[in-house]
Amino acid sequence: MSDEHERVQETLAGMALHALDADEMAEARALLAAHLPTCAECSRARDEFSSLVAELALAAPPRRPPRTLGTRLRREVRHEGRRLRVPLVAAAVAVAVVAGLGAWNAHLSSRVSRAEQRQAATQADTVELINAVSHPESRVVPMTADGTRPGAQVAATYVPGRALLYVFGSLPPPPRGHVYQVWVGRSGVFSSAGTFVPADAGTVLVRLSIDPSTYDTVLVTEEPAHGSSAPSQSQVATASL
Amino acid sequence: MDRDRTEGELDSELHRRLSMGEQDAFEELYRRYAPAAFGLAYRVTAHELLAQEVVHDAFMALWKAPQAFDPSRGAFRSFFLSLVHHRAVDVVRREQRMRQRAERMNPEPLEDEDVAEGVVQEAWLADRREEVLTALGKLPPEQREVLELAYFRGYTQAQVAEAMQIPLGTVKTRTLAALRKLRAMLGGGDA
């Protein structure tokens, strides 16, 4: 096996164990985005390691949970209902995205270092998104679409204190020769976070390794194929953070 | 494995019903997986209250967004226990101080056990647990220790290297070797 495969599979093993720190994760995502789409062997190893590591959970001695935990859960399920913490529009987007995660589909430009491309989701990827969306402290912010794109529905979500922001939802394909570009801004000054095109189904999931607390706005625009150095007037969706 | 497959099909059916909002299905999944989930969360956090929060949040995440599980991409058990582990590791890394305090204490037996839940763990899970323990026992000690620190104590690989006083590259090599051996002994892992 080549050094490259070995390095990728070492990374996959660390990811499966949830044993990479934030910096290592960023490096790992870049490595895997470049390697996995063309390597069936490592893609298979990713799925196998993910399932295998989940089995390690069984090695922990099972314990009866306290009675209060079951009581609390039953009460919340009965009275709180489903997804009440999430605004209705954002919840619809979240469900659509989660259901469509067969392809982790943000197709981000590789030249933009802070954005990461994911071609195919593992269950661990799904877990990561659902952790963010359903975290008790998560903020889900519906983004206001410009109204000219049928089916456009986008939201941003993050957990305060974590340097991670997701932009997700659905968008129609951009016109030929164009891409969507994500920007984060503070006091009217915007910097690019990456370009993307939606997957075939129109589903969008952009994962940004940024600290949301340092910005006040997230913006999606339509730009020429290679992206722009500043946002154009063709705004697609925006939200205040 | 046939029983594993049958149990996996039952999980999928319970998940389908849960997705329709059936609280009975939620109740049944809680009965089936709460002991394993709480055992895992407790092992990783070494703290009863934190473990409760982990399991609570995992089950509520399942209830609120059941579509997060895609049956075509693996077993429900793998998905849910991975969710629990991920949350437990997050908690450990946020609560390092609390964990260090807890590690100095011997965990006390739980006094408020949910006796109404019946057996602690169902036989089919207990059998699989024996297989996993046997496989772990066959690993070389240095590989087993790497998994112990990374998976069950929530260490990053860099922290494992520091704790074991070995290079980070050695941690990665041992981790990969351990998973390959486990894969050979246990298969891919999915029911």
CB A185 within 8 A of CB A216: yes
pLDDT at residue B161, as a whole number = 96
Q: In whole angstroms, what is the distance from residue B117 CA to residue A69 CA?
A: 12
Percent of chain B at pLDDT exceeding 90: 53
Most confident of A59-68, A105-114, A162-171: A59-68
Full-prediction pTM beyond 0.80? no
pLDDT tens, residue by residue, B83-115? 999 999 988 888 765 555 555 554 444 444 443
- B6-31: per-residue pLDDT in tens? 888 899 999 989 888 889 999 999 99
Q: What is the ipTM of this complex?
A: 0.83
Percent of chain B clearing pLDDT 70 (strictly above): 82
Of A132-141, A155-164, B179-188, which one has max mean pLDDT? B179-188
φ, ψ dihedrals at B25, nearest 5°: -70, -40
pLDDT range class, residue A169, cuts 50, 70, 90? confident
Closest chain A residue by Cα to residue B81:
A54
Alpha-carbon gap: A107 to the closest alpha carbon of chain B (Å): 21
Q: Would you say residue A101 has pLDDT above 50?
A: no
Residue-wise pLDDT tens digits, A27-39 = 888 888 888 888 8
pLDDT band at B33 (very low <50, low <70, confident <90, very high): very high
Chain A hits for B39, Cβ within 8 Å? 60-63
Is pLDDT at B142 greater than 50 in this prediction?
yes
Q: Is residue B60 packed enough to be buried (19+ CB in 10 Å), middle (13-18) or exposed (0-12)?
A: buried
Please write the tens of the pLDDT for every residue from A4-23: 899 999 999 999 999 998 88
How far apart are the CA of B21 and the nearest CA of chain A, in angstroms?
8
Nearest-angstrom CA–CA distance, A83 and A77: 10
Name the burial class of residue B2, with classes exposed (0-12), middle (13-18) and buried (19+) by CB atoms within 10 angstroms of its CB: exposed
Chain B hits for A62, CB-CB cut-off 8 Å, are: 35-36, 38-39, 120-121, 125-126, 129
Q: What is the mean pLDDT of residues B133-140?
A: 95
B2 in contact with A, Cβ within 8 Å: no
